[in-house]
Amino acid sequence: MGLRLIFMGTPEFSVATLDALVEAGHNIVAVYTQPPRPAGRRGLELTPSPVHKRAEALGIEVRTPKSLKSEEEQHAFRDLKADAAVVVAYGLLLPKAILEGTRLGAYNGHASLLPRWRGAAPIQRAIMAGDGETGMMIMRMDEGLDTGPVAMTERVEIKPNMTAGELHDRLRDVGAALMVRAMAALEDGVLELSPQSDEGVTYAKKIDKQETRIDWSRPAQEVHDHIRGLSPFPGAWCEMPLGGKLERVKVLESRVTNASAPAGTWLGGGLVIACGTGAVELTEVQRAGAKRASAEDFLRGAKLEDGAILP
């Protein structure tokens, strides 16, 4: 028969789970998502979230409250008489009244191996820390930050050159399938929950623009992890001396290589840059206002002087 579900999500990452639940035969009685945001070149057009657009295409009621703290919003939520709420990257805090506003509770699809990387940016932080694996977890939400008991887990390998964008897509698909399994178990009354460990807790704080600049004094592996953990968005960047002035360049892909020179030195051979120890080869970059390009294409139009030092 399927469950009566409220779906709560905002970015493209969440859309796959919404689609999967609909395909599995669940009745999505309403979708909650972040309000439309300014977009476009001038930022004047209000653009609905990816989840908003998909829900409308599916003919599902969409609600976009700025907050769920008011009694009015909480009553409206309870009046849906849902069996459960499914939450995937929604972006708003859920008060206790919302967490308890359905018959069976709220279940979150979180992109890490909890309790590691609780919080806002688990995909990026796992790569930036050099983790070799991560995963998707389905947990029943409580009032803490990603502290609820875990129902299901699926582990995912983080390959040495995998970017945050590639890992995002893998976890998106894994998470959608895992949530369908969890809701089937919940409907059958066999979903088992286990408390999270008190050991190994880390927090995946939101990415700050100030930390996106590449620090060449760090070891090459750390620089590489920094680059791929921020690719494609917001993107790690550096300044290069081009045409007699420093120009900001976003770095989207790289690989670790063997070389030794003062940190920041351009070593030729493409875009090989010395780090605190070792070096990285920048394989895909993007100048301001231009499309992403291979290092070879970039160097056709951007002349670096031999031995140039990147600050």
Calculate the alpha carbon distances from 47 to 22, 44, 283 in Å: 24, 9, 34
Closest CA to 126 of 195, 200, 237, 198: 200
Domain with CATH 3.40.50.170 in the chain: 4-203
* Residue 49 known to bind ligand: no
Q: What is the pTM of this model?
A: 0.95
Calculate the alpha carbon distances from 296 to 268, 285, 292, 293 in Å: 11, 10, 12, 8
Amino acid type, 266: W
Paired tokens of 293 = 């390009």
* Residue 254 known to bind ligand: no
Please give the backbone phi and psi of residue 23, each rounded to the nearest 5 degrees, phi first. -60, -35
Does the pLDDT at position 1 exceed 90? no
Domain with CATH 3.10.25.10 in the chain: 209-301
47: which strand partners? 37
Contacts of 24 (CB under 8 A, 6+ apart): 2, 180, 183, 184
Torsion of CA 72, 32, 98, 109, to 10 degrees: -170
* Residue 217 known to bind ligand: no
More confident residue, 25 or 260: 25
Amino acid type, 243: G
* Residue 115 known to bind ligand: yes
| pLDDT attached to residue 303 | 82
CA angle 44, 165, 136 (to 5 degrees): 110
**What is the mean predicted confidence (pLDDT) over 8-23?**
98
Does the pLDDT at position 105 exceed 80? yes
Location of structure tokens 């770095």: 251
| pLDDT attached to residue 138 | 98
| pLDDT tens figures, 127-150 | 999 999 999 999 999 999 999 999
- Please state which architecture CATH assigns to domain 4-203: 3-Layer(aba) Sandwich (3.40)
- Please state which architecture CATH assigns to domain 209-301: Roll (3.10)
